[in-house]
Structure 1
Amino acid sequence: MTRLFPGPLEVGKILRLTPKLGEDYLLESKELTRYTALYEIRQASAQAYNYLQPQLLVRLYHDARLAEVCASQQIYKLKPRYDYPNKKMHHQDEKHQTNQFLNDWLVFCLKQRIKVEFA
Structure 2
Amino acid sequence: MILLRAPRTGLLAHDTPGSFAALMDLYERNYINLRRLLPIMPPASSVRTSRVAGGLDLHLRIIGRSRYTSDLILTYQFRQNDGVVTAEPNLHIRIYHDARMAEVMAAHLRHRAAFIADFHLNHQADSTHLHARWQTNRFLFKWLTYCLRQGHRFTG
Task: Name the TM tier (shorter chain).
Answer: 0.7 to 0.9
**What residue is the counterpart of 1:61 in the other structure?**
96
- Structure 1 CA distance, aligned partners of 2:104 and 2:150? 22
How far did residue 116 of structure 1 move?
3.4
Instruction: Pick closer, same or farther for the CA change 1:26–1:49 going to 2, 3 Å.
Output: closer
Instruction: Pick closer, same or farther for the CA change 1:93–1:81 going to 2, 3 Å.
Output: farther
How far did residue 20 of structure 1 move?
3.8
**What residue is the counterpart of 1:43 in the other structure?**
76
Q: How many residues align?
A: 111
How far did residue 6 of structure 1 move?
3.3
Gaps of 5+ in 2: 1-33, 109-115
**What residue is the counterpart of 2:118 in the other structure?**
76
- Structure 1 CA distance, aligned partners of 2:53 and 2:142? 16
CA RMSD of aligned residues (A): 2.7
Q: 2:137 aligns with which of 85, 94, 99?
A: 99
Gaps of 5+ in 1: 85-90
Aligned-pair identity (%): 30
After superposition, what is the alpha-carbon deviation per residue over 1:67-119, rounded to whole angstroms, capped at 9, x for unaligned?
Answer: 100000152226576676xxxxxx8721111100110111112211125367x
Instruction: Pick closer, same or farther for the CA change 1:20–1:104 going to 2, 3 Å.
Output: farther
- Structure 1 CA distance, aligned partners of 2:60 and 2:126? 29
- Structure 1 CA distance, aligned partners of 2:45 and 2:141? 24
TM-score (norm 1): 0.76
Where is the strand percentage greater, Structure 1 or Structure 2?
A: 1
Instruction: Pick closer, same or farther for the CA change 1:92–1:21 going to 2, 3 Å.
Output: farther
Where is the helix percentage greater, Structure 1 or Structure 2?
A: 2
